[in-house]
Structure 1
């Protein structure tokens, strides 16, 4: 089987799978409709972008439709960027300002208008034959690679900020979704880097190398999307988002330093801290796996902003760690109770507010230096 036939078969499989996954995302019942639609759009555009071998079988000569198909690649990362925003922030909505993300796509097509879109077939053929010298294609290649770099950087910055916001305001394990999105974006970055290398060979005397890399990209892309959908389908609660109006503590501090001294005096800090600790010890809100800083703020009537400064800045702990310390200490008391020796580690972690064994083990070891199992064994050995 030669390279061309392998490329066509691989493209056909990838195209079918991408379209099927996109269709599934559109019709599946979920609260995250916007996120699903945006990712489905990303899949569709990516499928169209990689369908060149099949498209060239049906359209033998250069055409406006074929060039437009190529230009659709300018929409891939803008739509992925909007998708990431919709996953991270619960209040995200599409607005007219988001149309600005389509400007590179518009600029790329306008550049091609005079000498490709608006000319006859003979001129189009001449344009493609001499593509290495065409300033429009050089402009578009520089623009697409610049766009990739900017959007990949922007996505990583959004994920970094969203994760920090989550840790400062939530106490369950859903921050792992941001770690996982980091992984997914990293893999996509590698994929685009390989595509960049492919394009270098495409405009050189080693086009056969470019075709070989293209097959690898199509196969890798197929596995990446299947991996992503498998993860999302099997973990429906993975993507727990936050309010975009929340601010990082460091930003709050910067704002207050720029305007006036911190609102809370040391005396007020002490009063609020006593109030907070009393509530934590008496009411044990940490037993709720999904407790948020907003929940505690409403319960003890301390503004979220002040409570966030108290925990994340004054105590120098993420809200996530602050809550987990109470959970771990509660678990330690259960483990130390000789009348509860028959309670399993799994039962204990759910009882104290954790919702996964991995997050429980990580938090327990961070606080005590030991895993729950080794801590229990140490206690037994000390009593012998």
Structure 2
């Protein structure tokens, strides 16, 4: 099997899987329609980029449409950035200000206008044959490299802030979604890094290396799409968003220090802390798997920002860990109860407010140093 046949086979499979996932994203019933549409658009842009080997096999020569297809690569990572924004923040909406992300795409096409888009076919052929010496293409490749670095950095910073906000304000087990999205971003960053390496060889004397890297990138891209398809089919409601208007506790503390004397703050916090602990012990709100700091704020009539500072700063715990501590303590009591020895670990985790076995095991081991099963076995051994 020669290189072109291999490229064509991998391309066809990748396109099929990509468009299948696009169909799924656009038709599945979900409240996250904007997120699904943005990711579907990202997949379509990626599919257009991947289709190059097939289009080249049927193309009679360079064309404006073919060059425009190449420049669609400048839309891929901005669309992915908007997708991450949409899954992180529940109040995200596409607005006119987001059109600024079109700027790199418009710039590269404007640069190509005089010496490619507006010239005859012979000039287009000469332009591509001598691509290594064409300043327009060199500029576009440099711009693409800069764009990848800037957007990947922006996505990682966004995910770090969003995860911190989630932990400070929510006690659901959907935090694993942020971990998965982080992993997905890492894999995409690796893929884009490979693309950058391919472009470097494209402008060197080792053009054949660029072609083989292209094949490797296509295969990797196929696996990435299949991985995402697997996750999407198993978890159609993968993410739980947060409000973008929420502030980090570190920012709230800075504001509070400027507004209120420290002694007054201390007295207020002590009173609210007693009230909070009594409420958690007597009312057991942690049994709600979707509990948020807003829910407790409403019940205790304590402003969200004060409650957030109290838990995340005064107690030194994220709200997520604070609530899970009560859940694990409740689970330990159930495990110690000899009359409930027949109750399964799965039944216990749902009863105490978890909805994921992996999250329950992680939290339980963090709190006790043992898994739930190991803890139950140790109790049984001590009674023998």
Pairwise TM-score range, normalised by the shorter structure:
over 0.9
SS, match of residue 242 in structure 2: coil
The aligned counterpart of 2:17 is 17
Cα offset for 1:144? 0.3
Structure 1 equivalent of residue 193 of structure 2:
193
* Corresponding residue number in structure 2 for 1:290: 290
The superposition leaves residues 280-306 of structure 1 with CA deviations (integer Å, 9 ceiling, x where unpaired) of 111100011111101000111101100
Query: Offset at 1:382?
Result: 2.6
Matches within 5 A, 1:290-369: 290-369=290-369
Q: Spell out, residue by residue over 1:301-349, the C-alpha distance to the aligned partner (whole angstroms, 9 max, x if none).
A: 1011000000000000010110011111111222222222222222222
| Distance (Å, rounded) in 2 between the aligned partners of 1:263 and 1:150 | 44
After TM superposition, give the deviation of residue 264 of structure 1 in Å: 6.1
Taking only aligned residues, the RMSD between alpha carbons, in angstroms, comes to 1.6
Question: How far 1:217 sits from its partner (Å)?
Answer: 1.1
Partner Cα separation in structure 2 for residue 165 and residue 275 of structure 1: 24
Q: Look up the SS of the partner of 2:174 in the other structure.
A: helix
Correspondence for 2:171: 171
Distance 1:178 1:316 in 2: 22
Q: Which structure 1 segments of 5+ residues have no match? A: none
TM-score, normalization: structure 2? Answer: 0.96
Query: Match for residue 139 of structure 1?
Result: 139
- Relative to structure 1, the CA distance from residue 19 to residue 282 in structure 2 (aligned partners, 3 Å threshold; closer, same or farther) is same
The equivalent residue for 1:78 is 78
Q: Distance in 1 between matches of 2:141 and 2:283?
A: 60
Query: Which residue number in structure 1 is paired with residue 103 of structure 2?
Result: 103
Instruction: Normalising by structure 1, report the TM-score.
Output: 0.96
2-structure distance, mates of 1:11, 1:373: 47
The answer (yes or no) to whether the contact 1:168–1:319 under 8 Å persists in 2 is yes
Asked if structure 1 preserves the Cα contact closer than 8 Å seen for 2:17 and 2:225, the reply is no
Answer with 129-138 or 311-320: which moved more.
129-138
1:263 deviates by 10
Alpha-carbon distance change, 123 to 306 in structure 1, aligned in 2, over 3 angstroms = same
> Which range is displaced more, 162-171 or 331-340?
331-340
Do 2:30 and 2:237's aligned partners in 1 also have CA atoms closer than 8 Å? Answer: no
| Pair 1:113–1:371, CA change in 2 (3 A) | same
Correspondences of 1:81-230 after superposition (within 5 Å): 81-230=81-230
Aligned residue pair count: 384
Q: Which residue of 1 aligns with 2:5?
A: 5
More displaced 10-residue stretch of structure 1: 177-186 or 199-208: 199-208
Give me the whole-angstrom Cα distance separating, in 1, the residues matched to 2:26 and 2:347.
38
Q: Against the structure 1 CA distance between its residues 264 and 67, is the aligned structure 2 distance closer, same or farther, given a 3 Å change threshold?
A: farther
* 2:72 counterpart SS class: helix
- Could you list the runs of 5+ residues in structure 2 that have no partner in the other structure? none
CA distance, structure 1, for counterparts of residue 255 and residue 139 of structure 2 = 41
Counterpart in the other structure of 2:266: 266
Shift of the alpha carbon at 1:376? 2.1
Is the alpha carbon distance of 1:336 and 1:16 closer, same or farther for their aligned partners in structure 2, counting shifts above 3 Å? Answer: closer
Higher mean displacement: 272-281 or 1-10: 1-10
CA distance in 1, matches of 2:141, 2:325: 52
